[in-house]
């Protein structure tokens, strides 16, 4: 199992349609003692221009411009995290969390610093 933390970009086997893709980790390493899960949002090249897409800065390892699809939020078994690619810049992580707050109807001012 790969070592990662909140804000890291990791490769995850999402378990459907052979989708192994980069995702951004939103939760801590082990948010629940009884489950080996973490919360991630996928990075995708399928850009639709939706309000729940956060622009993703193109790193060298990524071939095309992509977005972080906040609506694709998922809880995944940490064993499905294959490796860490890097860290999301703090301002992008903040944009993802603010978008998530808007989607679920929570004011972002309640986020911990």
Band of pLDDT at residue 69, cut at 50, 70 and 90: very high
What pLDDT score was predicted for residue 2? 67
What pLDDT score was predicted for residue 28? 74
Q: In the predicted model, is pLDDT for residue 110 greater than 60?
A: no
**Rg (the chain; Cα; Å):** 13
Residues 44 and 54 sit within 8 Å (Cβ to Cβ): no
What pLDDT score was predicted for residue 36? 84
Question: In order of start, what are the domains of the chain with their CATH numbers?
Answer: 8-107 (2.30.30.110)
What pLDDT score was predicted for residue 56? 83
User: 22-65, pLDDT tens digit by residue?
Assistant: 999 998 766 777 888 899 999 988 889 999 999 987 777 777 88
Q: Tokens at residue 39, please?
A: 């919360």
């Amino acid at each position: 199992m790969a070592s990662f933390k909140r804000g890291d970009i990791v490769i995850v086997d999402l378990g459907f349609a052979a989708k192994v893709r980069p995702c951004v980790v939103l939760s801590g390493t082990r948010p629940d003692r009884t489950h080996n899960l973490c919360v991630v949002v996928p990075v995708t090249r399928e850009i639709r221009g939706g309000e729940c897409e956060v622009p993703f800065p193109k790193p060298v390892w990524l071939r095309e411009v992509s977005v972080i699809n906040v609506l694709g939020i998922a809880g995944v078994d940490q064993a499905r995290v294959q490796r860490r690619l890097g860290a999301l810049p703090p301002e992008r992580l903040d944009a993802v969390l603010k978008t998530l707050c808007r989607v679920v109807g929570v004011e972002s001012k309640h986020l911990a610093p």
